[in-house]
Structure 1
Amino acid sequence: MSSSASHPLRHTALDAVHRSLGATMTDFAGWDMPLRYGSEREEHLAVRTKAGLFDLSHMGEITVTGPQAAALLDHALVGNIGAVRAGRARYTMICQADGGILDDLIVYRLAETEYLVVANASNAQVVLDALTERAAGFDAEVRDDRDAYALLAVQGPESPGILAALTDADLSGLKYYAGLPGTVAGVPALIARTGYTGEDGFELFVKPEHAVELWRALTEAGEAAGLVPCGLSCRDTLRLEAGMPLYGNELTAQLTPFDAGLGRVVKFEKEGDFVGREALAAAAERAASKPPRVLVGLVAEGRRVPRAGYPVVADGAVIGEVTSGAPSPTLGKPIAMAYVDAAHAAPGTEGVGVDIRGTHEPYEIVTLPFYKRRK
């Protein structure tokens, strides 16, 4: 299926592998991506208990280099990127001048004057354009490296053991949100201890021509540990259980990081001005006095699954809206994230429901995340 006649779907370097494994494919942000290989539930539970292997090559990689690379990123993004040490990564956001979120990002500092910015697939072009525009006047280069990388992720409690069998890199010394260059199964890779599942795991950035041999080596090394290939469907339920926001659902250009309960990513103390600073300072003040709506977790008492856009209700009035909802394989019942009025946001608030096609289904408000791994 093509996204349109003029824009055929893009394929990752692992496309033939996914098809040989019988994957159900889907159009995701203009890429033909595996949704699932067999049972979404089994893929999900494999990541929670053993390990899963993902193709994330649709993510948008942008390299920023040059003497003023750090200064550019400090100006363009809300985080204090200049303070990130080489070999470490930072979760951050890029905002509009009005404070609205353009995307949430992970930025890896590869060297003193070299950064890798990883954007969501659906926003990669927007982020690239914004960084390019914001680079004016800085001695730094913004480079579109989307075609320079394939990205594989191994996630789950067995992932350190599986990866250790294929690399000499010091994985035990690799902290969460750190990345180091190394070799995995003979393939040069940036090995990052990051992920979007709520489990321990690694993301491996490699050249596209090495993707297939790396996938095969990981599959072989993980066989005895129960590693299975995983699609985007279980990635969504895993991140939902872990309370991790998804752009387009919990994060939008209409919301500031403070509206999303993620004001901590905005670093006002950093040197120099940054895009959105004034609007974000005002948003921080509003959030401190009276947050309009709060992001909460909802757990179903029944079996019906709430979906994004469904109204959250209490006492016959609409008090919020579901942003993401799905059956939770780990909890065994439907769950959702929703923005609700602050007055109804406390965990255990009585009388809250979701309007599912005209029926008010009872839901319990809980603190996010729904699931937290034991460390």
Structure 2
Amino acid sequence: MQMPVISRPHEPALFARAPGLERHRVAPGGLTVIALEPGDRLEVIDVEGDQRAELLAFAEAGREALAELSLLGSPGADFIARLLHDGSGESAHVQAGLRMRGIDCRHLPNAAALWPESTPAGFSRSFTASAPVLVIVAAPGGPVAVDSQQRASELRLLIQRANPSSLLIPTLPAPLGEVIDEFTITPGTARDYRVGAGQYIQVIDVAGRQCSDFVAFDSRGLDAGREIDLDPTVTRTLNGNAYPGPGLFSKFFDRNLQPMLEVLRDTVGRHDTFALACTARYYEAQGYFGHANCSDNISRALAAHGVQGRAGWPAINFFFNTGVDAHQQLTLDEPWSRPGDYVLLRAMTDLVCASSSCPDDIDPANGWQPTDIHIRVYAEKERFSIAMANRKTPDADPVLTRESGFHPGTRTLTGHFSDYRGWWTPTQFDGYGTLAEYHACRERVAVMDLSALRKFEVLGPDAEALLNYCLTRDVRKLAVGQVVYSAICYEHGGMLDDGTLLRLGPDAFRWIGGEDFGGEWLRQQAEKLGMKVWIKSASEQIHNIAVQGPLSRELLKQMIWTPGTQPALAELGWFRFLVGRLDDYNGIPLMVSRTGYTGELGYEIWCHPSDAMTLWQRLWQLGEPLGLAPLGLHALDMLRIEAGLIFAGYEFSDQTDPYEAGIGFCVPLKSKQDAFIGRDALLRRKEHPMQQLVGLELDGNEIAAHGDCVHVGRAQVGVITSATRSPVLGKNIALCRLAIDYCAPGTRVEIGKLDGQQKRIGATVATGTVAYDPDKSRVRA
């Protein structure tokens, strides 16, 4: 007899799957405050290894209560006390919260040091509270020199509640600021509320995967008897996006094209396609007569304001996972939101709003289990950063978009920023523009903030062996002071990432790539092999700028001082690095590598974030006489396409091997005899290639775009991965992943526009992928 099949999908971090489990993050060099009840179990995890941990606990009236967790204070464990008195706004905010609990931050006791240094990755300790306590957990660490590798890394906290809520609702996240109104909306209901100009609205998905319809009216218009409401069609049109995410164009508009709301934060990034809120007719068509629906609920909530009810409200549905498929059909699935995810908006005029908690339980719209939505309104005096959220792994806490140490300099030159891999990065600069920035790099010298690159320290006696196993390059041949470009592949040969590896010492390396998961992947492989090695995240503690162009050496040799043990800047070889200082022996510590992403002579300078603006100002002081210009992402894209340099998500993915991505040179299968991840798959793929990355030269002046189909006759034989108008060549060029049968230089193909058949742009396969300086004489100069 066959038993019934049961669905058990892997859904990390979803509260409904583990209702008693909470996850919290302790930032590197930071602290996290949590409340425990009797019987609650706290587990503190050293995620990356080699990271100290401190813990303080307080009972009612601020009494020290480490004993309630069976702990004692440790001599010298005073990092928490020092951090709370560092003078920052964050420490003042935490102090204010602790004072409300009766804790005197002026006289904090020693904390408990949870473990000695040099713990392995994943090491943890668990504690059970015997009484109600407020716990502070810190990950001690501070500024270190750029060539040092002992950096603070994050801790993870897991709390298993002894008495989880019977309603299966997690604890609400802490308020972001001063709350002037808040309320919970239960499933199948809606609520009206007023918000003044400048005040903030936070829409919180309490348990995850729950939709919330939102409508807003101009309050003064209602007082005058006119219904001027938020208009989805106007909003979509003026933003040019399906959903107005945080950033420069983060507005919701009314039908008169006037802004009503500004989006400041979004921790989900996936919402409605501006369809209607659910209606009675929708449920009736499915056979569910009399089912509660958001449109009727919103109409009832707004009736007190004189708003005429509607059978279907054109609302903004936060957290609703809808889309338009290739057949122009609206699709829906379970929301992406997880417990505590939110959207934060700022009212740009006085508003009357209504929000709902969707009652839909007949399809995946609310994960089949409608739950609560919570609304908070904050005072207009508050100031919140503009941010989206990123997660390293599905069960990791969200990390909001960050600003690099160079941001105070770049923001004086532009307001054009995009969220590039979790960091605000300039796209172009006021007074320059993409073309001027491009020509500055090709003809003089340009500077760009590339702090969004991910940096990982790889340390220990097995560091070389691990990297040699995980990277395609032969790491054993890498000398101290040398840099090598490499790919990281999965077992099937698909690429996880590309990047550069620096060797700082016999057992000390730094991997610099674009993928946050790269460090986690290295850590997983080290654990499988039982290696003695530490992989430490350093992205938040090392920021970097690229100085690129034919005059970059002339500029930097005026400002980079090196000791006798290091090469002078003028003598630094291609793919080498040096450790020096700014200007002289007493200057800020720096590292300089002769690397870049432009196809020009160039360098990258690495420093601690606290030193970033000192470096930035000195660079401009010396660079302006040479014609220094800033460089944004748009100009960088033109430069790298001309140079045939690849980009994640365009030229490569986990479905693309290094050969198909055009970087087969970094897979030395003949000379590297050691085993590495993906070797067997790459041997097969190399012997039986299906596609190859080629360069195309287009006819005429019409440009191609990423994703355009490439045809020979009616059949599609390739796809455009990247394309640009090359100013220096005076022609349109593209990188294309093309069927191997058509890769010979001179082969004619056609790029499909519209539906791929109605319009074609002729193109010729070029010799190689490098359109500008194919011999690399400039970058090697």
Structure 1 and Structure 2 fold alike (TM over 0.5): yes
Where 1:371 maps in the other structure, the secondary structure is coil
Measure how far apart 1:248 and its partner are: 1.0
Mapped pair 1:127 → 2:518: yes
Measure how far apart 1:130 and its partner are: 0.3
Give the number of aligned pairs: 367
**Contact 1:3 / 1:9 at 8 angstroms: preserved in 2?**
no
CA displacement 1:6-37 (0-9 Å, x = unmatched)? 42322111222222112411121222110010
**Contact 1:3 / 1:27 at 8 angstroms: preserved in 2?**
no
Return the alpha-carbon distance in structure 2 between the equivalents of residues 333 and 69 of structure 1.
Answer: 46
- Per the alignment, residue 764 of structure 2 pairs with 364
- Per the alignment, residue 270 of structure 1 pairs with 672
Where 2:728 maps in the other structure, the secondary structure is coil
Tell me which structure has the larger Cα radius of gyration: 2
Mapped pair 1:147 → 2:549: no
Any stretches of 5+ residues in structure 2 without a counterpart? 1-245, 247-264, 269-340, 342-388, 390-399, 563-567
- The structure 2 residue matched to 1:12, chosen from 400, 404, 411, is 404
Where 2:682 maps in the other structure, the secondary structure is helix
- The structure 1 residue matched to 2:449, chosen from 35, 42, 55, is 55
Measure how far apart 1:271 and its partner are: 5.4
Mapped pair 1:297 → 2:695: yes
Residue 23 to residue 43, structure 1, CA distance change in 2 (3 Å): farther
Q: Given residue 283 of structure 1, which amino acid in structure 2 is its aligned partner?
A: R
CA displacement 1:145-190 (0-9 Å, x = unmatched)? 1111010110000000000110233123211100111112422111
Q: Given residue 304 of structure 1, which amino acid in structure 2 is its aligned partner?
A: E
Measure how far apart 1:247 and its partner are: 1.3
**Contact 1:89 / 1:108 at 8 angstroms: preserved in 2?**
yes
Return the alpha-carbon distance in structure 2 between the equivalents of residues 188 and 311 of structure 1.
Answer: 49
- Per the alignment, residue 283 of structure 1 pairs with 685
Out of 41-50 and 18-27, give the one that drifted further.
18-27
Where 1:10 maps in the other structure, the secondary structure is coil
Where 2:665 maps in the other structure, the secondary structure is helix
- The structure 1 residue matched to 2:419, chosen from 15, 24, 27, is 27
Mapped pair 1:64 → 2:462: no
Which structure features the higher share of helix residues?
1
- The structure 2 residue matched to 1:246, chosen from 620, 623, 647, is 647
Mapped pair 1:194 → 2:619: no
**Contact 1:308 / 1:322 at 8 angstroms: preserved in 2?**
yes
Q: CA RMSD in A?
A: 1.5
Where 2:659 maps in the other structure, the secondary structure is coil
Measure how far apart 1:301 and its partner are: 1.6
- Per the alignment, residue 110 of structure 1 pairs with 504
Return the alpha-carbon distance in structure 2 between the equivalents of residues 262 and 13 of structure 1.
Answer: 32
**Contact 1:135 / 1:142 at 8 angstroms: preserved in 2?**
no
**Contact 1:51 / 1:154 at 8 angstroms: preserved in 2?**
yes
**TM-score of the pair, normalised by structure 1:** 0.94
Residue 218 to residue 3, structure 1, CA distance change in 2 (3 Å): farther
Q: Given residue 12 of structure 1, which amino acid in structure 2 is its aligned partner?
A: S
- Per the alignment, residue 353 of structure 1 pairs with 750
**Contact 1:327 / 1:335 at 8 angstroms: preserved in 2?**
yes
Measure how far apart 1:294 and its partner are: 1.8
Mapped pair 1:161 → 2:558: no
**Contact 2:414 / 2:426 at 8 angstroms: preserved in 1?**
no
Q: Given residue 9 of structure 1, which amino acid in structure 2 is its aligned partner?
A: T
**Contact 1:9 / 1:30 at 8 angstroms: preserved in 2?**
yes
Any stretches of 5+ residues in structure 1 without a counterpart? none
Return the alpha-carbon distance in structure 1 between the equivalents of residues 596 and 696 of structure 2.
Answer: 23
Measure how far apart 1:51 and its partner are: 0.5
**TM-score of the pair, normalised by structure 2:** 0.46
Measure how far apart 1:138 and its partner are: 1.3
Q: Given residue 188 of structure 1, which amino acid in structure 2 is its aligned partner?
A: P
Measure how far apart 1:3 and its partner are: 5.0
Identity %: 32
Where 2:561 maps in the other structure, the secondary structure is coil
After the TM superposition, which residues 95-106 of structure 1 pair with which residues of structure 2 at under 5 Å, given as runs? 95-106=489-500
Return the alpha-carbon distance in structure 1 between the equivalents of residues 462 and 404 of structure 2.
Answer: 32
Measure how far apart 1:73 and its partner are: 0.4
Measure how far apart 1:304 and its partner are: 1.4
Return the alpha-carbon distance in structure 1 between the equivalents of residues 711 and 683 of structure 2.
Answer: 31
- The structure 2 residue matched to 1:42, chosen from 414, 436, 447, is 436
CA displacement 1:209-263 (0-9 Å, x = unmatched)? 0111101111111111111011111111101000011111111110111222322
Out of 338-347 and 226-235, give the one that drifted further.
338-347
Out of 334-343 and 196-205, give the one that drifted further.
334-343
Measure how far apart 1:83 and its partner are: 1.2
- Greater RCO between the two (CA within 8 Å, min separation 6)? 1
Return the alpha-carbon distance in structure 2 between the equivalents of residues 334 and 308 of structure 1.
Answer: 13
**Contact 1:3 / 1:30 at 8 angstroms: preserved in 2?**
no
CA displacement 1:288-312 (0-9 Å, x = unmatched)? xxx3122111122222111111011
- The structure 2 residue matched to 1:231, chosen from 632, 635, 645, is 632
CA displacement 1:301-356 (0-9 Å, x = unmatched)? 22211111101112232121000012212222221100112222122213x22112
Where 2:652 maps in the other structure, the secondary structure is coil
Residue 330 to residue 3, structure 1, CA distance change in 2 (3 Å): farther
After the TM superposition, which residues 201-240 of structure 1 pair with which residues of structure 2 at under 5 Å, given as runs? 201-240=602-641
- The structure 2 residue matched to 1:317, chosen from 699, 715, 725, is 715
Out of 157-166 and 245-254, give the one that drifted further.
245-254
Q: Given residue 21 of structure 1, which amino acid in structure 2 is its aligned partner?
A: L
CA displacement 1:106-158 (0-9 Å, x = unmatched)? 000011111010011xx1x2101101111121121110111110101100000
- The structure 2 residue matched to 1:328, chosen from 723, 726, 735, is 726
Residue 334 to residue 3, structure 1, CA distance change in 2 (3 Å): farther
